[in-house]
Chains A and B, each alone.
Chain A
Amino acid sequence: AQSVTQLGSHVSVSEGALVLLRCNYSSSVPPYLFWYVQYPNQGLQLLLKYTSAATLVKGINGFEAEFKKSETSFHLTKPSAHMSDAAEYFCAVSVPRGNNRLAFGKGNQVVVIP
């Protein structure tokens, strides 16, 4: 079954600095990959997704992620952190025409330091 690994449950970043959240996946077939953001007391909101088109994917709020098959990675980046980026971020993987589940990582709680 497919799975993702996110290391470092809490990530602190200074306002204006680079945001880098790492995600590595495991899948026996080419996967679809997703990043979601969750603000306090809210549901998950899709940031961006990779579905076998361009390997560099741009999402909302200035985030982007690059699919690297050789590294089985899908790291999320944003060049300059904003206070409003403080939230929890989840990487997720699914298999096209596969089972019915979206498998999530444990998440990264991002804290932005003024």
Chain B
Amino acid sequence: NAGVMQNPRHLVRRRGQEARLRCSPMKGHSHVYWYRQLPEEGLKFMVYLQKENIIDESGMPKERFSAEFPKEGPSILRIQQVVRGDSAAYFCASSPTGTFEKLFFGSGTQLSVL
């Protein structure tokens, strides 16, 4: 059973470009969480999705950021018109039940904005 897969591992974008981060949850997991990690900071919750539904996006910036988890395919975190402050590690985690006792993290995508 493969773990949570995130790609790309590293993503470099220039200011104003779009960034798309992908997360394939573990098999049988229909709950996906996205977290952002800034240097010297812990992980900050961004969004919680179930298949085809956004359950909680209260941690996501109101503008430029969006997330989806379609019926087929990976979950996507999309950042439009990136700025330098978006540079961070973005982690995806999945769970079969929506609770945190069985939460598994991917290896993250390191986004660098030039």
Task: Spell out A's residues near B (CB within 8 Å).
Answer: 6, 9, 32, 34, 36, 41-46, 49, 51, 90, 92, 94, 99-107
Contacts and interface: CB of A to CB of B under 8 A. Distances in A.
A10 to B, nearest CB: 10
Interface in B14-47: 33, 35, 40-45
Contacts, number: 55
Given A9-B40, A106-B42, A41 B100 contact: no
B72 interface: no
A18 to B, nearest CB: 24
B105 A45 contact: yes
A3 to B, nearest CB: 10
B101 A103 contact: no
Nearest to A32: B100
Contact of A94 (B41, B56, B100): B100
Contacts of B4: 43
B107 A42 contact: yes
Interface in B89-114: 91, 93, 98, 100-101, 103, 105-108
24 contacts: A6-B42, A34-B100, A43-B4, A43-B91, A43-B105, A43-B106, A43-B108, A44-B105, A51-B101, A90-B42, A90-B43, A92-B100, A94-B100, A100-B45, A101-B56, A102-B33, A102-B45, A103-B45, A104-B42, A104-B43, A104-B44, A105-B42, A106-B42, A107-B42
